[in-house]
Chains A and B, each alone.
Chain A
Amino acid sequence: MARNLIEKILDSHLLRQEDDHLLTTYDHLLLHDATGALLIKPFEELARPLAHPEKIVAAADHFVPPATAERAEILQQYLDFTSKLKGIRRKPFQGICHQILVEDPEVGPGQFIIGADSHTIMAGALGSMACGLGSTDILFSMVTGYTWLPKPPVCKLELTGSSAPFIRGKDVALAIVAEIGGTRAMPDYAYECFDRTTGLLTMDSRFSLACMAAEMGASFFIMVPDEITTTFLANKGNTTPPLLPDQDAAYETTLAIAMPNQSLVSIPPAPWHVEKASDLGDIIINQAFVGSCTGGRLEDIADTAAIVRGKKVADNVRLVVIPASQDIYLQAIRAGYIEDIIRAGGIVDAPSCGPCGGIDKGIIGKGQTMIATSNRNFPGRTGPGDTYLASAPVVAASALTGVITDPRNIK
């Protein structure tokens, strides 16, 4: 019988059905310092060995470097804990956990990936099933080697249309979130996304899109692999032939989304309030932030550099740029992007989550406004001020003018 991609991946990972749920194996399990630290005590109390240490990837990215003494202590407890777990893949300080996961050559299509963070769903951009879980779920998987889930209904999502100047995966993500986020979210649904656009989204744009599937409320979000995927995989030394859905596979529902033809902006207090950048009045900003697992990749930094090169960031605006990984940082240095940004008056910080989770450097104060490439703008998420979400071209353009700006207006 014809199967969709979700069904194929579940079939290849199924241990057994238990009541109305499935017990499945997984290929990788992702940890980071903030949620990983919550596991330490319960893991010690549970006193069971790791089922598959080699499947565990342990990043440290949230409190890096820590901004308060308490966070320094939490980070240290986590580092001490993970260094005692023999055989795991420790990767502290190499970047945001989701980015270093997809950079890992062992991570590829057809896999089942779980992580102690909601944006783990981003790895679905490689053609795998990936989802975020809470600490107890993760602990259970660490010691048993399995996870539990209801079999998700699947939506076939087709991206259509063609690319326009300055339109990135972030704009596509915002268009979809506007359509299916918030009270319209279908929290049990998995999405299989077919890129049918002319020109195809870049891999960096696809990561950005899949990352924001968390804001769509999706349980899983898979970019169906194509030549963009296989090229990315080959470049990191992964030659696994991608698993594909059968041509005549059945889906519970379908959705078609056209590529936006103008830059979009999400207006606080939630990602699903979306408007065209050109329709916004003058919204004065205090900070422009390029970073996070949604918007800190090379494409975003290249866009930022291209827009600010030879110009100056507006008076009283802080342009904060945080590459999503050390690897991206090095590439951006080599390409001259970092120098362009610094010369324009930008502040470049070491790879970490920065202000995205509202817990570290770069957060905004009361009454302040930020435009950011990150993924959430719920009240309090990035500090007590207001955060607007957009692509790197919009954020960079806004940094130059001091108001939220459509990048087409920068000459």
Chain B
Amino acid sequence: MTSHRAYIIGDNICTDLIHPPNYFSLDKSRREKGFLRGVSTKWADTIRPGAIIIGGDNFGCGSSREVTAQVFHDRGVKLVLARSFARIFYRNMVNLGIPVCRYRGDHPWQHGEEIKVEHDGNACLIRSDQTSLTYEPPSSFVQHLVANGGLLQSIDILFSHAV
């Protein structure tokens, strides 16, 4: 079991909230300040490495700007869960080797909550009051990409046997 802080956010959290456009920058220190700033300025300032982010439906809808995924990497986020992800955002996360998984149905926590959870290493998060959330592993292709550390790290593996 490992302990983590988990941050609960609601449905339709778009890329402009995940990373407001005015934080678009090639400078990492400026870029990472924008992380979740459209959702909560407090969280933008306080989220530490090892955090778990739990969204709802259509997480990451909107822009293809990869900075919106890169900031999860910059800030050392361990795991991102959602009921559904917007396609490009999901790919961007996978391509950068950031673990993203889907869960089914509802979870017991509220938008805006910041909670302490134990990760049992088995696709399950448990809070001290015993409320929990289980999630599904991604498809095997996606698992391989994430395990390799991302898409670019997978090039040689994917094409070693290609024509």
Binding site for B on A (CB under 8 A): 15-16, 18-21, 23, 34-35, 37-38, 41-42, 46, 48, 70, 74, 77, 116-118, 131-137, 139-140, 143-144, 148, 150, 182-183, 185, 187-188, 215, 217, 219, 270, 357-359, 376, 378-381
**Contact in complex: A217, B65 (CB < 8 Å):** no
CB-based closest 9 A-B pairs: A134-B92, A19-B141, A134-B66, A136-B95, A183-B57, A21-B141, A358-B21, A135-B66, A118-B64
Give every chain A residue within 8 A of B90 (Cβ-Cβ). 187
B6 within 8 A of A: no
Q: Please report the C-alpha to C-alpha distance between residue A38 and residue B64 in the assembled complex, in whole angstroms.
A: 12
7 contacts between A and B (CB under 8 A): A118-B64, A183-B84, A217-B58, A357-B21, A358-B16, A358-B20, A381-B16
**Contact in complex: A182, B12 (CB < 8 Å):** yes
Q: Please report the C-alpha to C-alpha distance between residue A136 and residue B140 in the assembled complex, in whole angstroms.
A: 20
Give every chain A residue within 8 A of B38 (Cβ-Cβ). 379-380
Q: Please report the C-alpha to C-alpha distance between residue A208 and residue B136 in the assembled complex, in whole angstroms.
A: 37
Give every chain A residue within 8 A of B144 (Cβ-Cβ). 19
A142 to chain B, nearest CB (A): 11
Which of B22-30, B40-48, B109-117, B118-126 contacts its partner? B22-30
Knowing that A35-B64, A188-B87, A215-B61 touch, tell me 19 more A-B residue pairs with CB under 8 angstroms: A16-B162, A18-B158, A19-B144, A20-B141, A133-B91, A136-B150, A136-B152, A140-B151, A144-B158, A182-B58, A183-B11, A187-B90, A359-B24, A376-B16, A378-B17, A378-B62, A380-B16, A380-B22, A380-B38
Q: Please report the C-alpha to C-alpha distance between residue A378 and residue B87 in the assembled complex, in whole angstroms.
A: 17
**Contact in complex: A379, B17 (CB < 8 Å):** yes
Q: Please report the C-alpha to C-alpha distance between residue A143 and residue B155 in the assembled complex, in whole angstroms.
A: 9
Q: Please report the C-alpha to C-alpha distance between residue A23 and residue B144 in the assembled complex, in whole angstroms.
A: 14
**Number of interface residues, chain B, beta carbon within 8 A:** 47
B54 within 8 A of A: no
Most buried by B among A48, A116, A148, A379: A148
Q: Please report the C-alpha to C-alpha distance between residue A139 and residue B91 in the assembled complex, in whole angstroms.
A: 13
| Interface contact tally, CB-CB below 8 A | 140
Give the residues from 55 to 113 in chain B that come closer than 8 angstroms, CB to CB, to chain A: 56-58, 61-67, 69, 84-88, 90-92, 95-96
B14 within 8 A of A: yes
Q: Please report the C-alpha to C-alpha distance between residue A139 and residue B11 in the assembled complex, in whole angstroms.
A: 30
Give every chain A residue within 8 A of B66 (Cβ-Cβ). 35, 38, 134-136
Most buried by A among B11, B87, B150: B87
Most buried by B among A42, A46, A48, A187: A187
Known: A19-B144, A182-B11. A70 touches B25 (CB 8 A): yes
Q: Which of A21, A34, A70, A185 contacts B86 (CB 8 A)?
A: A185
Most buried by B among A132, A137, A270, A376: A137
Q: Please report the C-alpha to C-alpha distance between residue A41 and residue B150 in the assembled complex, in whole angstroms.
A: 16
Give every chain A residue within 8 A of B92 (Cβ-Cβ). 134, 136-137
Known: A34-B65, A46-B152. A148 touches B88 (CB 8 A): no
Residue of A nearest to B37 (CB): A380
A270 to chain B, nearest CB (A): 6
**Contact in complex: A137, B58 (CB < 8 Å):** no
Give every chain B residue within 8 A of A136 (Cβ-Cβ). 66, 92, 95-96, 150-152
Give every chain A residue within 8 A of B160 (Cβ-Cβ). none
B139 within 8 A of A: yes
Write out, one digit per residue, whether chain B residues 119-163 have a CB within 8 A of any chain A CB (1) or not (0): 000000000000000000001111010000011100100110011
Q: Which of A19, A48, A379, A380 contacts B139 (CB 8 A)?
A: A19
Give every chain B residue within 8 A of A357 (Cβ-Cβ). 21, 63
Q: Please report the C-alpha to C-alpha distance between residue A136 and residue B94 in the assembled complex, in whole angstroms.
A: 10
Q: Please report the C-alpha to C-alpha distance between residue A60 and residue B92 in the assembled complex, in whole angstroms.
A: 22
**Contact in complex: B87, A217 (CB < 8 Å):** yes
Q: Please report the C-alpha to C-alpha distance between residue A380 and residue B26 in the assembled complex, in whole angstroms.
A: 20
Q: Please report the C-alpha to C-alpha distance between residue A138 and residue B120 in the assembled complex, in whole angstroms.
A: 35
Q: Which of A19, A35, A215 contacts B65 (CB 8 A)?
A: A35
Q: Please report the C-alpha to C-alpha distance between residue A148 and residue B17 in the assembled complex, in whole angstroms.
A: 27
**Contact in complex: A38, B87 (CB < 8 Å):** no
Residue of B nearest to A358 (CB): B21
Give every chain A residue within 8 A of B141 (Cβ-Cβ). 18-21, 148, 150
**Contact in complex: B64, A117 (CB < 8 Å):** yes
**Contact in complex: B88, A132 (CB < 8 Å):** yes
Residue of A nearest to B38 (CB): A380
**Contact in complex: A134, B69 (CB < 8 Å):** yes
Give every chain A residue within 8 A of B96 (Cβ-Cβ). 136
Most buried by A among B15, B38, B62: B62
A76 to chain B, nearest CB (A): 12
Q: Which of A23, A41, A140, A144 contacts B95 (CB 8 A)?
A: A140
Q: Which of A77, A219, A270 contacts B14 (CB 8 A)?
A: A270
**Contact in complex: A137, B17 (CB < 8 Å):** no
**Contact in complex: B159, A144 (CB < 8 Å):** yes
Residue of A nearest to B95 (CB): A136
Give every chain A residue within 8 A of B21 (Cβ-Cβ). 357-359, 380-381
B83 to chain A, nearest CB (A): 9
Give every chain A residue within 8 A of B26 (Cβ-Cβ). 37-38, 41, 74, 77
